Structure 1
Amino acid sequence: MKLVKRPEIEGFLKSPPRDVIACLIYGKDRGQVIERGEALARQIVPDVKDPFNVSILTDTDIDNDAARLEDELTAQSLMGGRRLVRLKFFSEKAALDKQVAAALKAHAAGEFNREAFFLIEAGGLGGDSATRKLADADKAVASIACYEDETGDVVRMARETLAKNEVALTPDAMDIFAARLPRERGVARQEIERLCLFIGPGSKKTLDAKELQDFLGVEPEASLFDAALQAFGAKMGPAQAGLRRAFAEGETGVDAVRALNAHLIKLRLIQAQVAKGIDAKQATRAAGVFWKQEAEFLRQARAWSDFHIDPLSKEMIDTDKACKSTGMPDLLIAERLYMSIAGRAKRLGL
């Protein structure tokens, strides 16, 4: 059962019918796939981390043990009620696709535990995918494709997130902000959340276009771009030299923090593009990386995982505020962050 229109997709994710016992969510926008999968999972079971009622599998699990998927779909809940079998399926192997399709077909026909909900989160399945074909056609299975967000989708997501944090943008500021956001949902959401932190959650403040520029900033000069590249690459000496050269050219600590953030956004965009299956070199070009720096950006993108990147967003905002408000020399505040990033990069093996 193919769901296409936004209202029917959102309605299903909020309240899945009991006669639908499986769902395929797929697409090259992995951030959107994961977000929708998480939303649906929360409607199936009270606790998505409950080890008794939730089973999370990967394509590697079923590749190593052909019977594992059917065993999980057959198992009964130890605590009673519904079970959730969640498959993270990002393999391109045709044999695995057929295996998943066979299990999905049998489950939709009622051959396994009908109280088990089968959720498949997959990559960009082609039109020849057996799993996708079955999900599109079977009434007991929902099929949801995830495409890159359009401008209107990004604006709606931004407004909803800002409203939850009790902050807002004026219409002009929203137009500017939306135009600067990437269309990959995971990266876009991170930037929206970073903006919320910048404004101040719960402050009920509305930023206008002029105030938004303090968040967006202007493009930093070449010396700052180079210093940020060196810092994320664990080259502490060159990063410090580039930073001080930029300061001598008249750049400020705030400019230096913005350069780090611009570099971080490029790394996230590269990671998002590669996760979609896009060629690494094409991913760097899509992120606006100068061709001579492609190899270094790819090296960094492989090393800096979300676990290490996520804390940096808040640190950058705190450093930006410190540069503007503490009365301490902003150049030293920014330099400390650069050196900290270079040290972390070294520990990552860069």
Structure 2
Amino acid sequence: MILAKRPEIDRFLARPDAAVRAVVIHGKDRSGVAERSEILCKAITPDLNDPFNVTLLTDSDIDGDEARLEEALTALSMIGGRRLVRVRLGSDKASVDKAVAAALKTHADDGFNPDAMLVIEAGALGRDSALRKAAESHKAAVGIACYEDEVGDVARMTREALSAEKVSLSADALDRFVSRLPRGRGLMRQEIERLILYIGPGSGRQLDVDQLEAHLGVEPDASLQDAALQAFGGKPAPAQAGLRRALAEGESAVLAVRQASIHLGKLRRINILQNAGAGAKEAAKAAGVFWKQEAEMLRQARAWRLDDLDRVLDSVNTADLATRTTGMPEALIAERLLLEISARARRLGL
């Protein structure tokens, strides 16, 4: 079966159904996959280093020796309690995918030790993955896809972490902090922990935007955000200047292209929400727009319609691939992309 909604996923991870014998947690955000797997595994057995009740295998263990997984799933606990078999897949090798899928199906059909729980961590599994199909189609198995957190989820995670340490951010400061967080869950957690240390755990302090800015500082990533904002606003010179400043400060062209993609995604979300009847300010906030940039983003969203964004998305994807796979100078690829976006924005009347 498939678990997709956050509340039902959180409930299952904290209190897994005894009838479920196998779980596949997968997604591009490997830190998010690992975090959810850790919560689930600790719900099964608190000591994940227990040599009697816990077996950890990787794809290299299984590749060429499929019996290792079957032996782990067949073994009985020597001291009682539910056994845990963890599998971490670091590659998308088809033979391993099929082998693990076959073992999962047999285990879900009660072919091995019924008291063993099989938990598999994997990268982004396509819909043609045998492992994903096996987990999602069997009533005794669960498939959980980990997607990038929505802005609301990130804000909630930040609030909860700060509250646990008796510190907080004002509403505007929280919006600003969330807009600057990296995408991976592991990196998000690190930045939140760093903020807590800056505020002072247990101090009861609340930071406003200006106080938060002192913590954030002028980072290269800020220049990249500004470059994307200027490009989609039809201002090639400031966009070019922001990019060159970020590159000079050590930022990469790959992240410059990615920032353009993030900005495009925010404009898409504003369009979609407004088409569904949301108000402009409501749509901007839901899209994760920092309040100081709200007016400019809404101005851009009025000009950039969904069809226009889809056309420029092809250019963004092409540039993203080129910066990572070709021998062309990365900086030139990113700069050319921003200039192309600026030119398109000009033609749209910005």
TM class by shorter-chain length? 0.5 to 0.7
On the 8 A contact 2:167/2:199 being kept in 1, the answer is yes
Whether the aligned pair in 2 keeps the contact of 1:82 and 1:117 (CA below 8 Å) is yes
**Cα displacement (A) at 1:280:** 12
Distance 1:173-1:124 versus aligned 2 partners, 3 A rule: same
Q: How much identity, in percent, do the aligned residues show? A: 56
**TM alignment of 1:110-189, pairs within 5 A:** 110-189=110-189
**Alpha-carbon distance in 2 for matches of 1:193, 1:18:** 34
Distance (whole Å) between structure 2 residues aligned to residue 284 and residue 39 of structure 1: 36
Provide the C-alpha distance between the structure 2 equivalents of 1:102 and 1:55, rounded to a whole number of angstroms: 18
Deviations 1:281-308 (A, max 9, x none): 75978xxxx93599xxxxxxxxxxxxxx
Does 2:59 match 1:59?
A: yes
| Aligned with residue 330 of structure 2, among 279, 291, 298 | 291
Amino acid at match of 1:109: D
2:102 aligned residue: 102
Q: Is the 8 A contact 1:48 1:54 kept in 2?
A: yes
The residue that corresponds to 1:68 in the other structure is 68
Q: Which letter does structure 2 place at the counterpart of 1:3?
A: L
Q: Which runs of 4 or more aligned residues in structure 1 lie more than 2 Å from their structure 2 counterparts after TM superposition?
A: 278-285, 290-294
SS at match of 2:191: helix
Instruction: Please give the secondary structure, in 2, of the residue aligned with 1:110.
Output: coil
Deviations 1:297-348 (A, max 9, x none): xxxxxxxxxxxxxxxxxxxxxxxxxxxxxxxxxxxxxxxxxxxxxxxxxxxx
| 1:92 CA drift (Å) | 1.2
For residues 209-253 of structure 1, what are the alpha-carbon distances to aligned partners after superposition, in whole Å with 9 as ceiling and x for unaligned? 111011111247xxxxxxxxxxxxxxxxxxxxxxxxxxxxxxxxx
- Do the aligned partners of residues 203 and 50 (structure 1) sit closer, same or farther apart at CA in structure 2, a change above 3 Å counting? same
Report Cα offsets for 1:65-94 as digits up to 9, x if no partner: 221000000001111111100000132111
Quote how far apart the aligned CAs of 1:52 are: 1.3
Map residues 202-213 of structure 1 onto 2, 5 A cutoff.
202-213=202-213
SS in 2 for 1:80: coil
Change (3 A) 1:152 1:284: farther
TM norm structure 2: 0.64
Amino acid at match of 1:132: R
1:38 counterpart residue number: 38
Structure 1 gap segments, 5+ residues each: 221-258, 271-277, 295-350
Q: Give, in whole Å, the separation in 2 of the partners of 1:38 and 1:97.
A: 22
Give the AA of the match of 1:18.
A
Residues 173-219 of structure 1: CA deviation (Å, up to 9, x unaligned): 00111111122222112111111111111222111111101111124
Instruction: Give, as a single letter, the amino acid of the residue that structure 1 aligns with 2:82.
Output: R
SS in 1 for 2:144: strand
CA separation of 1:280 and 1:184: change in aligned 2, threshold 3 A: farther
Asked if 2 retains the 8 angstrom alpha-carbon contact of 1:72 and 1:85, the reply is yes
Q: For residues 17-59 of structure 1, give each alpha carbon's deviation from its aligned partner in whole angstroms, at most 9, with x where no partner exists.
A: 1111111100111111000000000000021111111111100
- SS state at 1:215 partner: helix
CA gap of 1:73–1:279, structure 2 versus 1, over 3 A, is farther
Q: Could you tell me whether the CA contact under 8 Å between 1:154 and 1:183 is conserved in 2? A: no
Distance 1:80 1:145 in 2: 31
Please give the alpha-carbon distance, in whole angstroms, between the structure 2 residues aligned to 1:49 and 1:190: 24
Greater mean alpha carbon deviation, residues 198-207 or residues 168-177: 198-207
Secondary structure of the residue aligned to 2:143 is: strand
Structure 2 CA distance for partners of 1:197 and 1:188, relative to 1, 3 Å: same
| Equivalent pair of 2:63/2:95 in contact (CA under 8 Å) | no
C-alpha distance in structure 1 between counterparts of 2:321 and 2:197, whole Å: 32
Q: Secondary structure at the match of 1:9?
A: helix
Q: Report the CA distance shift for 1:266/1:141 in structure 2 as closer, same or farther (over 3 A).
A: farther
Change in 2 beyond 3 A, CA 1:280/1:135: farther
Q: 1:150: Cα distance to partner?
A: 1.2
Equivalent-residue separation in structure 2 for 1:51 and 1:280 (angstroms):
48
| Partner AA of 1:108 in structure 2 | A
User: How do 1:187-266 and structure 2 match up within 5 A?
Assistant: 187-219=187-219
Give the whole-Å Cα distance in 1 for the aligned partners of 2:121 and 2:188.
20
Structure 2 vs 1, CA of residues 79 and 280 (structure 1 numbering), >3 Å: closer, same or farther? farther
Q: Give the conservation status (yes or no) of the 8 Å contact 1:42–1:48.
A: yes
Q: How does 1:6-45 map to 2 (within 5 A)?
A: 6-45=6-45
* Partner AA of 2:215 in structure 1: F
Q: 160-169 or 103-112, which moves further after superposition?
A: 160-169
In the aligned structure 2, how far is the partner of 1:98 from the partner of 1:22? 15
The structure-2 alpha-carbon separation of the partners of 1:191 and 1:293, relative to structure 1 and needing over 3 Å to count, comes to farther
1:82 — aligned with what? 82
Superposed displacement of residue 170, structure 1: 0.7
